[in-house]
C-alpha cells in the first residue's frame, strides 16, 4: 500500500472511531468469484495493526463454489496445503452497519499489491483492466443499476419461494411497474436500505418498483473510481439481503426466480474520460465515432462475455420465455431498451453506452471487467458496430450462447478477453464454473422421478 493510501486509511479509521466510540467490533470483507463475501469479525483493537501490516486469509476462499465448497478440479486449497494470501484493507471502504444485534464497523480487503496480487481475485481482475485504460490516459466513468426481489420469509410446502406480502396491507404484492404506491407500501424496508447505504457512504439515486411482484430497483450515481463503484454494488447486495432479514423477508438478486415473471438485471452505464476529464464519447451535441467503436467491441466480445454476465445455471432462464427485458441479440441502438447496448438520451454531452445484458446475479467486478474489456477492444481496434437497430428486437441471435456450457466454451476461446483479463484467470474461471455446473447437474429432483420412474 502506498504511504498516502495508508495515511488516508488511518485518518478515516481515527475519524470513524472518534465519532462512534461504542463500536467494539469490525468485519473484514472480501469478494470471491461467485460474488459472495467472505471474511472474519474481529475486536476493534486489531484494526490499526491490520491497517499497518495487513492480514491473512486462505487464498483458496476466492475459488469456492456457490455454496462455499472447495472444487476438486481446482488445486488452490485442495492439494496445495491451502496457504494464506496477504491482504490489505481498502482505503475509503471503512463504514458501519447496524442490522444485527448491535452496530459494527466493516471494511473491505484486497490481495496485497506489495506482494503478487491474486490473479483470480475479481477485484484485481478489474484493476488490471483499469491499468490498460490508464496506459492510454483514459479513465472510465461508470454507474450500476441493480434489480432485486423481496420474497416471503417462508417457502411453501414444496420448498418454493412465495410472493412477498405488503407490510401495510398484508396482501401479496402486485407487479405494477413504476407504482409509487408500491414504493410507499414497502417504504419501511426501502427506507432502511437507503439509510444503510448512507452509513456505508453509498450515494443512491432513483428508486422504482419493477415488473415483478416484490421487485424493485435502486440506482447509484456515476463513479470515475470504477473500483469503488464495483465495491458499492457488492456492498449494496449485502445491504439489501441483511435489511430484508431484519424485516422478516427474504431478498435475492437471482436472475430468474419465476419463469413467467420478470428477471433481475444488472445494467451498467459507461463513458470514458481523457487526461483532461473530457468525455471521449462526446463530440459536442453528437456522439463521437469512438462511442460507436466501443459498441463495436462490445458486440464482438459479447458471446465470450456471456459467461461473466450470466454466470450461473439459473442466469440463462432470464433470456427465455415469460416477461423479459433481457436482450440476447448482437444489436445496439439509440433510446432502444430491447437492444443489448443502448445509447441513452445524452444531456449536456453525457454520451455513454448502457450494457443491458448482465443479470443481477453477476459478480459486479467481473461483469464490469468483461464490459470494459469489450470497450477497450473496440476502441483500440476501431471496430464498426454496423447499423443501429430502430425497431424492437425480440429474437435471440444464433451466435449468442444461451446455456452455461456453451458460454464457457466461447469464453475459453476468446482472444479479446484473454488479452485484457489474462489467460490464467480465464482458464481458472471457466474451470470453476464448469465444475460447479457439473455438480449442479449431478442431482436428481422429484420431477425426474415423476416423469421417468414408471
320-356 pLDDT, tens digit per residue, is 755 556 888 999 999 999 999 999 988 778 999 999 9
Clarify whether residues 338 and 402 are in a common domain. yes
Is 123 a member of any domain? no
Asked if pLDDT for residue 113 goes beyond 80, the answer is no
The reply to whether the predicted model has a pTM over 0.75 is: yes
At 73, is the pLDDT very low, low, confident or very high (cuts 50, 70, 90)? confident
What integer pLDDT is reported at residue 55 of this predicted model?
A: 95
Cα of first residue to Cα of last residue in the chain, in angstroms, is 64
Q: Which pairing describes strands 332-334 and 341-343: parallel, antiparallel, or unpaired?
A: parallel
pLDDT digit string, tens, across residues 186-236: 999 999 999 999 999 999 999 999 999 999 999 998 999 999 999 999 999
Is 181 a member of any domain? yes
Residue percentage of the chain with pLDDT more than 90: 82
Clarify whether residues 261 and 343 are in a common domain. yes
Mean pLDDT (whole number) for 122-151: 97
At 37, is the pLDDT very low, low, confident or very high (cuts 50, 70, 90)? very high
Asked if pLDDT for residue 1 goes beyond 70, the answer is no
- The separation between CA 415 and the C-alpha centre of its own chain, rounded to angstroms, equals 23
Is 124 a member of any domain? no
* CATH number where 67 lies: 3.10.20.70
Asked if pLDDT for residue 238 goes beyond 80, the answer is yes
Is 9 a member of any domain? yes
Asked if pLDDT for residue 32 goes beyond 60, the answer is yes
Clarify whether residues 106 and 156 are in a common domain. no
Clarify whether residues 151 and 79 are in a common domain. no
Is 234 a member of any domain? yes
Mean pLDDT (whole number) for 170-196: 95
Clarify whether residues 66 and 137 are in a common domain. no
Among the residue ranges 259-268, 281-290, 392-401, 434-443, the one predicted with the least confidence is: 392-401
* CATH number where 440 lies: 3.30.590.10
Provide the domain count of the chain. 2
Mean pLDDT (whole number) for 25-46: 97
Asked if pLDDT for residue 114 goes beyond 60, the answer is no
Mean pLDDT (whole number) for 289-317: 97
The whole domain housing 269 covers 131-449
Clarify whether residues 203 and 264 are in a common domain. yes
Is 398 a member of any domain? yes
Clarify whether residues 383 and 256 are in a common domain. yes
Last residue of a domain, one of 92, 116, 140: 116
Is 364 a member of any domain? yes
Clarify whether residues 339 and 424 are in a common domain. yes
What integer pLDDT is reported at residue 324 of this predicted model?
A: 57
What integer pLDDT is reported at residue 118 of this predicted model?
A: 87
Clarify whether residues 238 and 153 are in a common domain. yes
Q: Work out the mean pLDDT of the chain and round it to a whole number.
A: 93
At 33, is the pLDDT very low, low, confident or very high (cuts 50, 70, 90)? very high
Last residue of a domain, one of 85, 116, 147: 116
Clarify whether residues 30 and 55 are in a common domain. yes
What integer pLDDT is reported at residue 155 of this predicted model?
A: 94
Amino acid at each position: 500500500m502506498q504511504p498516502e493510501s495508508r495515511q488516508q486509511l488511518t485518518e478515516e479509521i481515527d475519524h470513524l472511531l472518534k465519532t462512534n466510540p461504542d463500536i467494539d467490533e469490525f468485519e473484514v470483507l472480501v469478494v470471491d468469484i461467485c460474488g459472495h463475501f467472505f471474511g472474519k469479525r474481529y475486536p476493534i483493537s486489531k484494526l490499526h495493526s491490520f491497517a499497518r501490516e495487513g492480514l491473512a486469509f486462505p487464498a483458496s476462499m476466492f475459488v469456492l463454489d456457490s455454496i462455499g465448497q472447495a472444487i476438486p478440479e481446482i488445486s488452490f486449497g485442495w492439494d496445495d496445503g491451502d496457504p494464506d494470501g496477504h491482504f490489505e484493507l481498502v482505503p475509503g471502504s471503512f463504514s458501519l452497519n447496524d442490522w444485527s444485534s448491535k452496530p459494527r464497523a466493516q471494511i473491505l480487503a484486497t490481495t496485497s499489491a506489495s506482494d503478487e496480487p491474486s490473479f483470480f481475485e475479481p477485484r484485481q481482475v478489474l484493476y488490471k483492466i483499469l491499468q490498460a485504460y490508464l496506459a492510454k490516459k483514459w479513465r472510465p466513468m461508470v454507474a450500476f443499476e441493480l434489480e432485486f426481489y423481496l420474497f416471503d420469509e417462508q417457502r411453501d410446502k414444496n420448498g418454493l419461494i412465495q410472493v412477498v406480502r405488503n407490510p401495510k396491507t398484508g396482501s401479496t404484492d402486485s407487479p405494477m411497474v413504476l407504482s409509487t404506491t408500491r414504493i410507499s407500501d414497502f417504504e419501511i424496508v426501502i427506507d432502511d436500505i437507503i439509510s444503510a447505504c448512507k452509513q456505508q457512504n453509498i450515494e443512491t439515486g432513483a428508486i422504482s418498483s419493477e415488473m415483478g411482484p416484490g421487485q424493485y430497483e435502486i440506482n447509484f450515481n456515476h463513479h470515475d473510481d470504477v473500483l469503488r463503484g464495483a465495491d458499492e454494488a457488492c456492498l449494496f447486495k449485502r445491504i439489501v439481503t441483511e435489511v430484508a432479514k431484519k424485516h422478516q423477508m427474504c431478498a435475492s438478486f437471482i436472475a430468474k426466480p419465476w419463469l413467467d415473471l420478470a428477471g433481475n438485471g444488472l445494467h451498467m452505464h459507461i463513458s470514458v474520460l481523457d487526461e483532461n476529464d473530457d468525455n471521449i464519447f462526446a463530440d459536442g451535441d453528437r456522439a463521437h465515432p469512438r462511442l460507436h467503436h466501443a459498441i463495436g467491441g462490445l458486440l464482438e466480445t459479447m458471446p465470450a462475455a456471456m459467461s461473466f454476465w450470466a454466470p450461473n445455471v439459473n442466469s440463462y432462464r432470464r433470456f427465455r420465455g415469460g416477461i423479459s427485458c433481457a436482450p440476447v441479440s448482437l444489436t445496439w441502438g439509440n433510446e432502444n431498451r430491447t437492444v443489448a447496448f443502448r445509447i441513452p438520451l445524452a444531456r449536456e454531452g453525457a454520451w455513454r453506452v448502457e450494457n443491458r445484458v448482465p443479470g443481477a446475479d453477476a459478480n459486479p467486478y467481473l461483469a464490469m471487467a468483461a464490459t470494459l474489456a469489450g470497450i477497450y477492444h473496440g476502441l483500440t481496434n476501431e471496430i464498426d458496430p454496423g447499423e443501429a437497430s430502430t425497431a424492437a428486437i425480440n429474437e435471440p441471435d444464433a451466435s449468442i450462447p444461451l446455456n452455461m456450457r456453451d458460454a464457457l466454451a466461447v469464453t475459453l476461446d476468446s482472444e479479446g478477453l484473454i488479452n485484457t483479463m489474462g489467460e490464467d484467470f480465464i482458464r481458472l474461471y471457466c474451470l470453476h464454473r464448469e465444475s460447479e455446473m457439473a455438480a449442479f447437474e449431478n442431482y436428481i429432483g422429484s420431477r425426474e422421478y415423476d416423469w421417468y420412474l414408471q
